[in-house]
Structure formats: C-alpha cells, structure tokens
Amino acid sequence: MDWVIWHKPTCSTSRWVLAALREAGIQPEVRDYIAAPPSEGEVRDALAVLGIGARGLIRRKGTPFVELGLGDPGLSDDALIAAMAAHPILIERPVVFAPHGAVLCRPKERVHDLIARNGAGVAR
C-alpha cells in the first residue's frame, strides 16, 4: 500500500498532517474524503488496519451525530459504518495509511510515529 491521507482541506489539523508528510519527503495520495466518500467496505477496511471499532472513528463535533441518534450505545458497528459512508463528515480526520499500518492523527503528532515506523523521513 502506498501512502494515502483521508484529508479535509478546510481542517487545520488535516493540513498540518499533510504538511508533515510532505516535509518528511512523502507525497501521499490525497483523498478529500468529503468529495470522494469511502464506501462501507473501505470504512471497514480502515477500521481493521487502524485496529479500532467504529465508535473510535466517529466525529461528533460539527456533524449530524446527535441528529442521527448515533450516541445510542445499542447501535452496532454496522449501523455506524453505514452512517459514516452515507455522511462522510462523521469520519474523524485525518486518517493516514502507510505501507506498514495506519493512524488516526488525533493528536496530529501521531503522524510522526507512523513516519518513523515506515522508515520514512525523520521522526520528531
């Protein structure tokens, strides 16, 4: 797998992470995940490589999280994944995929661990 970032251009954290990747000499595929939303299958694959459950990838702030009733603890991962695919703004950002792993960059500095783990750039 090549380097890919699920990016939202208006998000300062996402822009910071993209700049850190480029500063490390990495030219990732930049996927504006709002304009080109991941499918349910891609969300599932992302969760598997991230090693987290669906609730770990859901963004609450500035999204229809409350309106959609996604805080209901009885909702399955399948229901949450379907909601993220239908409303990509619900996906926390940025997510960076690398040849050896992936990371949700919250906090943003987590990208440096991924860079180091993949033998690219200089970790900070």
Which residue segments constitute the domains of the chain, with CATH numbers given? 4-117 (3.40.30.10)
What is the C-alpha to C-alpha distance for residues 35 and 102, in angstroms, rounded to an integer?
Answer: 21
Please, which residues have CB within 8 angstroms of residue 11's CB and are 6 or more apart in sequence?
Answer: 93, 94
**Is 105 a known active-site residue?**
no
Global pTM reads 0.92
H runs (alpha helix) in 9-122? 12-23, 40-50, 77-86, 110-117
- Please give the pLDDT value at position 76: 97
pLDDT digit string (tens) for the chain, length 124 residues: 699 999 999 999 999 999 999 999 999 999 999 999 999 999 999 999 999 999 999 999 999 999 999 999 999 999 999 999 999 999 999 999 999 999 999 999 999 999 999 987 644 4
Q: And the tokens for 46? A: 């992302």
- Please give the pLDDT value at position 121: 64
Q: Tens digit of pLDDT for each residue in 24-59?
A: 999 999 999 999 999 999 999 999 999 999 999 999
**Of the listed 4, 9, 11, 57, which one is catalytic?**
11
Q: What are phi and psi of 30, to 5 degrees?
A: -100, 115
- Please give the pLDDT value at position 120: 76
Please, which residues have CB within 8 angstroms of residue 101's CB and are 6 or more apart in sequence?
Answer: 49, 114, 117, 118
